[in-house]
Structure 1
Amino acid sequence: MNGNYHHRAPEYQEEMVEIDVQRAPNSPFMNHSEDQMLPRSVPPYRPGHSPSLNDEFGSNTWPLPGNESFIHTPVDSRSATPSLYPSNHQFQSHQSLAALVDTPPSPVLAKDWVQPGSIAQLYDRDDAEIWKGWRRWLFRFVPVFTFANTALYLFYLGLRIYCVIMAQKYSGYIYAGAWVFIAIEIAVAIPSQMHNCWTMLALKKRNRPKLRLTGDDVPTVDVFITCCGEEDEVVLDTVRGAIWQDYPRDRFRVIVLDDAKSPTLEASVNQLARIHTNVFYMAREKIPGKPHHFKAGNLNYGLDAVHELPGGAGKFMAALDADMIPEPEWLRAVLPHLLVDPRMALACPPQLFYNTPSSDPLAQSLDFFVHVIEPIKDAMGVAWCTGSGYVVRREALDEIGNFPLGSLAEDVATSTLMLGKGWHTAYVHEPLQFGTVPEDYGGHLKQRTRWAIGTVDTAVKLKFCLWGDAVRQMSAAQRFSGFLYATLSLYTLLLTASLFAIPIILLWGKQLVAYATTEELRWLIWACFATTISNRLCEFALFSPAGYHTGQRGSRYQLWMSPYIALCIVRSFILPRWLGGQAQAFKPTGSLGSALNERDPKHRRNMAVRMWVIMVNYMATFHLLFVYVTLAAVVVSSYRCFAQNSGFRDIIMCLITHAFWPPLTFLFICTSLWTPIAYAVDPPNMPDREDLLDRDPKTGVAHPTRQSKKIAFGGQAAWFELEYTTATVATILVFVYSFFF
């Protein structure tokens, strides 16, 4: 290994062995004295210089929902000007870089396959090393399991409706409670069945190889690091990780785009710039009262500003969030996917995290999305930009007018507009960047509601990807994907309404499952049993790439987060200002006196303060009331069964058809909605961020330790697994008992 990595921990050296094989021995920025990495000389610049720009982006926004026009960032924002440092080629990145792909990738995994100026193929699949064995074999059956589960559920639902109709004909009585229960099941089933339809498309095999760009004849890249008020050390760790890429120094620049204009961060970046001449600090002027468009505006500022730097703009642009530390092979791993396809506009790796607490109680890891959903979407040609770590072709950005403004989800909007123009996008399923999840409950809510509202807002402006000039060249699969993932957030309205109905119908005391004869009840139980077991098998197979417990956390997350997302949707898109409508983001009520520091065992606020803030300021009172009212309703319903029936068989039949219809759905809902309260009472403990990093004492470069990259299995995960097992066992027992009616 090269000298600059000798000071890594043993486990990190082991991780980097494969990358060592592919490095060209004459890399222009490596100092083989093993003391330091020396950059090649580049034209001098003034550290900290932020060029003044004449172009302003604040006045150009997307239209509000309902407007007919679709306004982009100005096309003449100079992304069309010459962009290679050493050359003057315009818009021909795929032609001028053709020499890089003249030599076909070699499938031989040995040192002799490294050829300067070529792209090497390490494996047939980019995720060959992170996901293998029995899980990959099992995942092949996901379409079969999903199809069977969908068919069984539709049969079960049709049988439920048929039995209610027959029961009403037989008794002449309207089973209102049964109809309400069916309506709740349908409301919950709509998004899940839509998702099942998409999941069945996993039948299409994904063929994205694991590639590496070798040699020194590589394209130029401008790496943007966007920040706005984050801690200096967090940003600087990302900057150092970007600087120490296994990439020629004269072929990439690291540009910190600081929207907070932090004097201390500027001084620290300028200090790095004195050693590394490819590092720049920039901060745009934000005029009070004039829209600055947050991250999209900051990125567009950087796209324009790099033309003022020596050599002009790079052929490609890459972006990192302030807390996302890239792995040393990041650029060499992502860029080949753009070079082998001249119509590839954007390639992005997953967002992974190194400070996720054990059991991940708030489902912050995104593992199910990045390890299951995104690969399926990539196979269908509809990979989304994940917001960090992506590399984009400047030509494609120019065609859509740079990053679209006026959206809280500029990453989704950007990739969607590129697909609408006929460009391709790629998802590189490799662990190439690691960042941090929000360390407090309020930060998590704001992040997730912003994502959800931004996705819906973008979908409204793009007409849900169904028609219009912006999506004209999209395929049917791309349109369906855009429509599906936009509407899933809207279905939280139905899900939240159904949550309100559950305790009401239980307190109502009406029969939830109606039938005319014992034979009909037996068939209902059999269909319910088959649906439940097939659903468990489907979940186990579908969740296998990310881990079974990861998928289950996601299922619970959808339930307890739905009231927050639904409230934001109502406030953002339905209510007028005078009735409580507000900006498109979650806003806590009241005043937060100080941070809870809930994950710091030394400085966390006491339980009374935590409970007050989460229950009142963050409105978890709804969750608490729902759980207690629902459990009280179950007790009342059960008491009625014992009071109104005398025989064992009658009592059991009453319990089954009222509160305890398998698979004990109320239990899963209550434990899921208990999440905020359990978090307030017993938040997870996390060590200091520095303890999660392995830092090189000479260079200061830090990368997450092997252990911090994984989510530990904790007591909460064990508790929920016990709950799932109990519900499954109860379903089996009811199924067995049905033979003895």
Structure 2
Amino acid sequence: MTSEDVVKVEELPPDARVLSGQRYRKYLYHTARVGVWTFYCYFLARLLLILSEAQRPWQMWVMLAVEGLFGRLSYQDQCLTVAAGGEPERGPRKRLRLRGSQNLPRVDILIPCCGEPANVILDTVRSACMMDYPLSQYRVLVLDDGASSQLHDAISELHSKWPHLSYHTRGRQSGRVFAKAGNLNYALFTIQKDVPPDFCAILDADSIPKPEFLRATLPHLLVSPQVALVTTRQYFDNLPAGDPLSQSRRHFYTCQNAELDRCGRAIDAGSGAVFRRKAIIDVGGYPTFSFSEDWQLSLILRGMGYRTVQVQEPLQFGLVPTSLEGHIAQRNRWHIGHSQQVFALRPPANRSMPRHLQWSIARGGLAITLGLVGHIIGFGAVPCLVTSRSLIPASSSFVIKAQVILSMFYVSTLWAYGWLQNAHAGIRGSPFSQLENSWLAAVHLYAVIRFHFISNAPKGSFVTGSRENSWNRIAKSSVYKIESLPTRFLTTMAWPPLLHICYLTITNHWVPVAYLLNPPVYPARIS
């Protein structure tokens, strides 16, 4: 009998906020289904009507394309909700606790770092060493790619108090040898070679775990052998009031990843992940073809038949960048990592993955990068569309009325789904928060192009960021004559999807303006 057969797992009462949101599940599911079908019907009807016109000005095609560019994000969320199902009992994930001290699995806490302030790293180290878990059953491994003598000495001093703590380094790497992925693989394949643990947990240098971290995450791996990785939602100590830059990524954790979790396909967001070591070894360790090694590992595990799940509980607290430049630099790094997914097709990344999985990962990265182009085109086209007078076919009053009614129904489903999505997740805010930081699309695309075609390495630190910035260029507009005033408004400025897109454009691009006019105050971490 293995330890997994005898450990005691207790189920805790569900979180009140999450539980209250479940009453919206069926409404959300059915609204998503209606939204998906409306998406198909609406764009098919719009396409056929444009094709039936004798004259098809380019503005009609641009309007249709822009509607599709902005509509696809809600459509993707709706498809995800439909795939996750409408049964409330399938979610949210249960709150579990590992009880007792006997027969518990062996765990290594891996803390990769490279040049972060020593005091920040040591705060994380101390918290990791004081977890509610038998000291004989877990180790804390500090993996320092900065080769800091100060950190080495501090860890040596703490080792006398906590013998399960140790310091390791590959020498001063500064990210040159596969960066964080290489650092973690060094632990998996070298440090742990003689004494391999059953499970590993990853903590970023600034992410302080709660004492019950292991007891709250390990049960999800123990009760289901098919689960290879548990990722936890990231919370932050220094998040400013109102979260003006959407640094908490609430929509990702509570909407998108929560739906993926219901399907057993959650995306690892980095810090706070706990995984079955054998599964990671079997897929070749952390992938080294991308900066977003955590995201890519999730895709590989899912493609190899494993399940990945997310725990929503607040089990770790990190730090967000405290400047606009640092925030932009962090997001640039993520998008560079996604753009690198195409490298999954080339050796040595393809040794442990079937060809179809390589293509799937590459297509996903290409789609995310092209999404940046879509946002630039979409936002840039708005001023031109607002002043245009040939947005939709207007050959007869019936054609106009049919399109306006259909468009109003389509836009209504977008808003209804957005509000229900927030209510189901138990959050407040815009019903289109999946567009968070879309105003940075041009900056991200510039960073991707600069990385791949100008330099082999990102310029500047990903912590402090670059002061470079780029913005959309507003296209010039053309004016066409329309007969009646009501028709002019309904087919141009008052076209419902255009009003919807104008709302998205204004609210998203107001974010940096509001930040500059009223800079947020980032609270200090309480030690």
Tell me the TM-score normalized by structure 1: 0.63
- The corresponding residue for 2:12 is 122
**Which of the residues 282, 293, 299 maps onto 1:410?**
293
Shift in CA distance, 408/550, structure 1 to aligned 2, threshold 3 Å: farther
Shift of 1:321: 0.4
Q: Which of these residues, 148, 151, 176, is aligned with residue 265 of structure 1?
A: 151
* Shift in CA distance, 457/233, structure 1 to aligned 2, threshold 3 Å: same
Please tell me whether residue 582 in structure 1 is matched to residue 465 in structure 2. no
CA distance 1:142–1:489, shift in 2 (3 Å): farther
- 1:457-508 per-position Cα deviation (integer Å, ceiling 9, x unaligned): 2355159xxx99715798xxx998996576234222233223333334455x
Q: Does 1:211 align with 2:96?
A: yes
CA deviations 1:413-445 (Å, max 9, x no partner) are 223333333333232232211111111122222
Contact 1:150 / 1:193 at 8 angstroms: preserved in 2? yes
Identify the match of residue 177 of structure 1 among 54, 59, 67: 59
Is 1:213–1:336's contact at 8 Å kept on the other side of the alignment? Answer: yes
Residue identity over aligned pairs, in percent, reads 28
| Conserved 8 A contact 1:121-1:209 | yes
Matched, 1:131 2:18: yes
Change over 3 Å in CA distance of 1:587–1:243 after alignment to 2: closer
1:253 to 139, 156, 160: 139
Equivalent residue number for residue 469 of structure 2: 619
- For the Cα contact (< 8 Å) 2:50–2:393, is it kept in 1? yes
Alignment match of 1:297 (pick from 157, 173, 182) = 182
User: 1:330 maps to what in 2?
Assistant: 213
SS in 1 for 2:436: helix
**8 A contact 1:568–1:586 mirrored in 2:** no
2:507 is the alignment partner of 1:657: no
1:471/1:192 CA distance change after superposition, 3 Å: farther
Q: 1:96 and 1:280, CA in 2 relative to 1: closer, same or farther beyond 3 A?
A: same
1:526 alignment counterpart: 405
User: Which shifted more, 511-520 or 185-194?
Assistant: 185-194
Offset, 1:185:
1.8
Q: Is the 8 A contact 2:31 2:417 kept in 1?
A: yes
Question: What one-letter code is carried by the residue in structure 1 that aligns with 2:185?
Answer: N
- Report the Cα offset of residue 200 of structure 1: 1.5
Q: Is the 8 A contact 1:450 1:586 kept in 2?
A: no
Q: CA deviation at 1:531?
A: 1.6
Equivalences for residues 459-538 of structure 1 within 5 A = 460-461=343-344, 470-471=353-354, 487-506=367-386, 509-538=388-417
Q: Does the Cα contact within 8 Å between 1:449 and 1:586 map onto a contact in 2?
A: no
**Aligned match of 2:418:** 539
Deviation at residue 129 of structure 1 after TM alignment:
4.1
1:334 Cα deviation from its structure 2 partner: 1.0
- Distance in 2 between residues matched to 1:417 and 1:158, nearest whole Å: 35
SS in 2 for 1:321: coil
Residue 420 of structure 1 contacts residue 472 of structure 1 at CA under 8 Å; is this kept in 2? no
**Residue 118 (structure 1) shift:** 1.7
Which residues of 2 match residues 325-404 of structure 1 at below 5 A? 325-404=208-287
Structure 2 SS opposite 1:234: helix
Asked if 1 retains the 8 angstrom alpha-carbon contact of 2:264 and 2:308, the reply is yes
Q: 1:130 to 1:228 in 2, by over 3 A?
A: farther
User: CA distance change for structure 1 residues 381 and 551 in 2, over 3 Å: closer, same or farther?
Assistant: farther
Q: Does the alignment pair 1:241 with 2:127?
A: yes
Counterpart residue number, 1:306: 191
Between the aligned partners of 2:172 and 2:149, the Cα distance in structure 1 is 16
Structure 1 residue matching 2:353: 3-state secondary structure: helix
For 1:232, which of 103, 112, 118 is the aligned residue?
118
Partner Cα distance (1:235, 1:552) in 2: 37
Partner Cα distance (1:445, 1:177) in 2: 33
Q: Do the aligned partners of 1:223 and 1:254 also contact (CA within 8 Å) in 2?
A: yes
Structure 1 segment 44-59 matched on structure 2, within 5 A: none
Distance 1:587 1:199, change over 3 A: farther
Deviation at 1:446, TM superposition (A): 2.0
Structure 1 residue identity aligned to 2:19: K
State the distance in 1 between where 2:335 and 2:226 align. Answer: 29
- 1:324 to partner: Cα distance: 1.0
* 1:497-541 residue CA offsets vs partner (Å, 9 max, x unmatched): 23333334455x442233122222222222222122221110011
Residue matched to 1:148: 34
Q: What code does the residue aligned with 1:672 have?
A: N
1:270-298 deviation digits (Å, cap 9, x = unpaired): 3322222221122221479x941111111
8 Å CA contact 1:219, 1:315 repeated in 2: yes
SS at match of 2:219: helix
Q: Is the 8 A contact 1:142 1:200 kept in 2?
A: no
Q: CA deviation at 1:337?
A: 1.8
User: Aligned letter for 1:492?
Assistant: L
Aligned pairs for 1:677-688 (under 5 A) are 677-687=513-523
Which structure 2 segments of 5+ residues have no match?
none
- For 2:232, the aligned partner's letter is P
For 1:667 and 1:382, the matched residues in 2 are separated by: 32
Q: Is contact 1:204-1:379 (8 Å) kept?
A: no
Check the 8 A contact 1:163/1:515 in 2, yes or no: no
Residue of structure 2 in register with 1:198 after alignment: 80
Counterpart-to-counterpart distance in 2, 1:562 and 1:347: 30
**What does residue 16 of structure 1 align with?**
none
Give the CA deviation at 1:96.
3.5
2:493, 2:159 → 1: CA distance? Answer: 66
CA deviation digits over 1:562-587, x for unaligned, max 9?
A: 222333444456xxx4xxx4347576
Structure 1 segment 693-712 matched on structure 2, within 5 A: 693=526, 702=527
Deviation at 1:660, TM superposition (A): 3.2
CA distance in 1, matches of 2:279, 2:434: 36
Using a 3 Å threshold, how does the CA distance of structure 1 residues 196 and 471 change in structure 2: closer, same or farther?
A: farther
3-state SS, counterpart of residue 543 of structure 1: helix
Change (3 A) 1:584 1:157: farther
Q: Deviations over 1:226-249 (max 9, x none)?
A: 112222222222112211111111
Alignment partner, residue 673 of structure 1: 509
Contact 2:173–2:179 (8 Å) recurs in 1? no
The Cα offsets for residues 46-65 of structure 1, whole Å up to 9 and x where unpaired, read as xxxxxxxxxxxxxxxxxxxx
1:669-723, Cα deviation, whole Å (9 max, x unpaired): 1332232233223221223x13xx3xxxxxxxx4xxxxxxxxxxxxxxxxxxxxx
1:284 aligns with 2:163: no
Rate the CA distance shift 1:587–1:272 in 2: closer, same or farther, 3 A: closer
Q: Is the 8 A contact 2:389 2:491 kept in 1?
A: no
Which of structures 1 and 2 has the bigger CA Rg? 1
CA shift, 1:202, in A, is 2.3
Task: Provide the rounded CA distance (Å) in 1 between the counterparts of 2:38 and 2:234.
Answer: 35
Residue 329 of structure 1: CA displacement?
Answer: 0.6
Q: Is the 8 A contact 1:176 1:510 kept in 2?
A: no
Structure 1 residue 163, shift from structure 2 partner: 4.0
Q: Cα distance 1:442–1:163, how it changes in 2: closer, same or farther (>3 A)? A: same
Q: Alpha carbons of 1:480 and 1:194: their partners in 2 closer, same or farther (altered >3 Å)?
A: farther
* Shift in alpha-carbon separation, 1:535–1:174, aligned structure 2, 3 A: closer
